[in-house]
Amino acid sequence: MRGTQGKPYVSPHWVTDAWSAFTDDRVVRVAVDAVGGDNAPDEVVKGALAAAGPQLNVVLVGDEPRVRALLPPGAAHLSVVHAPDVIGPGEEPATAARTKTGSGIVVGLRMVQEGAADAFVSAGNTGAVVAASVLYVRRIPGVKRPAICTIMPAMPAPVAFLDVGANAECRPEFLRQFAIMGQAFAREVMGIPEPTIGLLSIGEEPSKGTPEVVEAHRLIADDERIAHFRGNVEGRDIMNRLVDVVVADGFTGNVCLKTIEGSARAILGALRATVMLNAKTKLGGLLIRKDLQVLKDALNPEEFGGALLVGMNAPVVIAHGNSRARGIAQAIRMGRRGAVSGLLPTIARELGARPEAV
């Protein structure tokens, strides 16, 4: 998974084996929340079965009898840990993370804390996953705030985008750290050797944006840990892939991410309506259908599986709430990739090396 600006066109086909393209011999244990998300436990179990293998042991953390009933006899590389409680989508994250100790989220993250698992995947309450991760897995020393780093299906190749929702408010120093963590993610997880970085704002000039963004621009430009800072980028530059990594505060990033998802769905929906207009357009639609599916797949967020909560002591993957088996399987593979890659040591080295004011 690579392709920096200027490199030849990368077909959307690559996404169909985004994570399986990276192989090695290490055995990684990924704990998976089997109670969180819209389609638990059925689709979670199906996804786990698809992802599990000799190098990828999956621990399903959920309602044990229900999960076991869904497993075929003799399913290999899979185990089950009982944690029947659900943290609902409306629950206050910090409170739930502290009190719901029998939930898939808390039990799974405590397994990571205790060394019983190397990574964690959940399609449940995002705020609760972030809060419980901070509580149990803990931040890498030196990291002020973790950030949710997602992979956007940009053209012609994907873009790393963070923070897409962990921090509604961001001090300039947080944004600087996001740039460093995003660079590490692009390099170590996505395999882009020399990632370029952009700061999301409302104009190219360093003076454009809120005072926080203007100050963050200065901090990032002056930081020698960030190799290829391209300055401010605008909303249109995300999907057109002007840079490999886009940095934003969690409010703007989350709004933007959902805006892109909504726009893609609206446009593809209008395209479908256009094709269904009459016999002529239906025939036309039939002729492009197969190739159009490739485009639709490329725009499908499930193809990457989820977003990684960067800055923690272990990979925590936040999958879409409505993930089906394919999305869960990809999220589990993303968790494995996070664990075997150089992401964590790189962040620890770059953010932990120097004493910085909190």
Closest CA to 137 of 123, 117, 151, 122: 117
What does 23-35 look like in DSSP terms, one character per residue?
Answer: --S--EEEEEESS
Q: How far is the CB of 58 from a copy of itself (least distance, A)?
A: 30
Closest contact distance (angstroms) between CB of 267 and a copy of itself is: 5
Residues 320, 306: Cα–Cα separation, whole Å? 6
Query: Nearest approach, Cβ of 154 to a copy of itself (angstroms)?
Result: 7
Helix, strand, coil % over all residues of the chain, rounded to 5: 45, 15, 40
For a copy of itself, the closer CB: 31 or 200: 200
Tell the smallest beta-carbon distance from residue 262 to a copy of itself (Å): 3
- Cβ proximity to a copy of itself: between 21 and 270 the closer is 270
Residue number with CB closer to a copy of itself (52 or 148) = 148
- CA end-to-end span of the chain: 35
Asked if residue 44 lies in contact with residue 60, where contact means CB atoms within 8 angstroms, the answer is yes
Amino acid of residue 333: R
Element (H, E) at 241: none
Q: Which residues contact 84 (CB under 8 A, 6 or more apart)?
A: 35, 62, 63, 64, 102
Instruction: Supply the minimum distance, in Å, between the C-beta of residue 343 and a copy of itself.
Output: 25
Task: Name which of 50 and 239 has its Cβ closer to a copy of itself.
Answer: 239
C-beta of 239 vs 348, nearer to a copy of itself: 239
Q: Which parts of this chain interact with a copy of itself (CB under 8 A)?
A: 12, 90, 154-155, 165, 168-169, 200-202, 205, 208-211, 213, 234-240, 248, 250-252, 254-271, 274-275, 277, 280-281, 283-289, 291-292, 294-295, 298-299
